[in-house]
Structure 1
């Protein structure tokens, strides 16, 4: 028997073996729950996590926020048998994701006030599954899309003050649009120390401007950059698109 014939027989045997096991394994797993999202992050995991999930699992979680609020899911770690075991994420009738394989640090936002997760596994081979958290957040409804409520006005002093993207050091959400305006006393300037910066390159941006002049438009990954206002005001605007998020930025500001 040549090698090609042997390989073909082996592949066919494995396929028959898998079908045979699937046909004789019928035990199912009961899991899932209904939960209310609050301003405190709450955990949600596949059955038995961090140990492997069982075969034939079929779990549904429904997470609901208060009226006028939405649900954010932070998928920290995800590992399933690719193309056989799935996590489906729904908001109403809209499917936000159907995941299988390995992922980390993904964020999903509900369209309305509820988010549904359904996790299914087949009759053989299992892995750790997923570890996630969920939290309630507020949107300001605008046209044509919703925008995350974030940003503020601040006064720079001789004491360094922190400023970060939403949810840092966790990933920022999709569709963020945040503006911070930092003002120093007359005759003084604002210095921004951008300590860490990580966004989806060419899609999510931090724009830094002063007195109508753009000082920087950052996207990608940077460390330890310093920007100083032209006058006594510095403005930061952070925007993200509707898919793929990173940790964002961590910075401080001070008067100089």
Structure 2
């Protein structure tokens, strides 16, 4: 099975649009993973029905036993995240502010503070016309350390069966969520756009991806908006030995497709035609015909 992630150095480059188009064009014999858990939008473009849900337990949070608490105030004084506050002669922990450091546990003379598991989100499984989709919902205020991405990846591997392709929509940036996405992949498709900040972030995400020994491909979205910077990106790809899969033009059909909640490749358009060529070139690299 080929493991492929669509990534980007920054948000807003069209990464999910490209991932959804590839999922639509490969169509069968694949399993999908939405590793952009803070903005899991792949399912919005592919549709499907929810078939499973499991709780995701994130970092532990502090909890105060009011029957044991001496109301000495040491926990409140020691908390550097302002997560402990007093109400009606009792101390409470705000789970949205608690970082799970455990300092309050150590300073409490009565042992009234303990660390408890805290549900930070859900790992979801859906069935779509393009294959099973592993995705997640991160609860508001919960930190994304990459652990939830790791669970999404594990579930996708379990659902893969005899699939020939695992296609992941990765998160933007170069943090822990990206590392959890790229680890164990065979290749990544880095989506960028003709802007100086996008080129800067493309260089960073390429540098990080190389540390995992994956093949790196590049797609330039909305390439015709700034020809000069687009040429800089092409020169960078040539200098670094990166295969440029193709360039997608600016196309109002993309916005129209997103509004309808479908991949842009569901109808003919200049962007759709470019993405078909990109898919064919990518398929040829891995022998993924059809």
TM (norm. structure 2) is 0.21
Structure number with higher helix proportion = 2
Q: Which has the larger radius of gyration?
A: 1
Structure number with higher strand proportion = 1
